[in-house]
Amino acid sequence: MTRLSVNINKIATLRNARNGNIPNVLEAALNCERFGAQGITVHPRPDERHIRYSDVYELRPNISTEFNIEGNPGPKFIDLVLDVVPDQVTLVPDAHDAITSNSGWDTIAHKSFLTDVAARFHEKGIRVSIFVGTELEFIDGAKACNADRIELYTEPYASQYHLNREMAVTPFIAAAYRAKEIGLGVNAGHDLDLDNLNFLIKNIPVINEVSIGHALISDALYMGLETTIKKYLECLVVK
C-alpha cells in the first residue's frame, strides 16, 4: 500500500502569522502520526517563512514514523540534513523566493552536483529522492546520480485531472514504471487531493509514498485533522 507522508509546512505558516506557538508544529506532527500518517514531511526554506530550522531539530527526535526533509540543496540545507539525519531527503530545485515547488530537476544538466550531494547524504545512511517531471531521460538521469527514489511532480496531473483524467495520468504511468524498471522507488507529490488521489494510485499502484500538505491541511480546517487523514488513507487503497 502507498504510504502517506503529511507535509506540515502550512501548520507552520499559520503559526508564524502571529509569532507565537499556536498552532504547535510538533503537536500537529504527533497528531498526524497518531491519526495514521506514515510519515512527516517538512520543507524548510532559507527565509524560514513556514518551517523553521529550529522546528526540524525539535521534530527529529520526536517523530516515530518516516521523517522526510525536502528542499533545494544549498549549503545551509545540506548542513541541516547532515546534522539532523532524516530517514529521507528529497532534493527539489525551487528558487529561494518560490511560492512553492514548480518544476523537477534536469538531472542531466545537474548530474555532477546531484551526484555529489547524494553521495554526502548516503554517507549518513539517508535515502535520497530526486524531484522530477515525467521526462524519461531525467528519470534515467536520477538513476545515474545514484538516487534511491524519484518524486514525481504531480501538478500537471492535478491541473488536467478534471479535463481528461486518463490523458492526465498517462505520462505518469510511463514515468513510474520506467523508474521501477531501472531500480528506483517512486514517490509523488504536489496538488494531490481527495478528488484526484485515488485515481492516481489505482493507475500507479507501485507508488511507494505520497507527500501531501496544502490540500490536506486545508481539508482539515473543515473536517478536522483525524477525519481528513483517514479519508486520505482511504484514497490510497486500491479497490
175-230 pLDDT tens trace: 999 999 999 999 999 999 999 999 999 999 999 999 999 999 999 999 999 999 99
- Residue ranges making up the domain that contains 91: 3-235
CB 60 within 8 Å of CB 86: yes
Q: Where are the beta strands (DSSP E) in 72-191?
A: 88-91, 127-132, 149-153, 185-189
pLDDT digit string, tens, across residues 67-104: 999 999 999 999 999 999 999 999 999 765 554 556 68
Domain count across the chain: 1
Q: What percent of the chain has pLDDT over 70?
A: 96
- In the prediction, which pLDDT does 95 show? 63
Q: What is the pLDDT of residue 100?
A: 53
Q: Domain containing 41 — which CATH number?
A: 3.20.20.70
Asked if pLDDT for residue 109 goes beyond 60, the answer is yes
C-alpha cell, 9: 509546512
Return d(Cα 189, Cα 154) in angstroms, integer.
6
pLDDT at 98: 52
What is the value of pTM for the model shown?
Answer: 0.95
* Strand partners for 235: none
> Positive or negative, the Cα torsion across 113, 60, 235, 214?
negative
Q: Which three cell numbers stand for residue 220?
A: 482539515
- 149 bridge partner residues: 129, 185
Q: What is the DSSP letter of 61?
A: G
Active site residues: 43, 70, 190
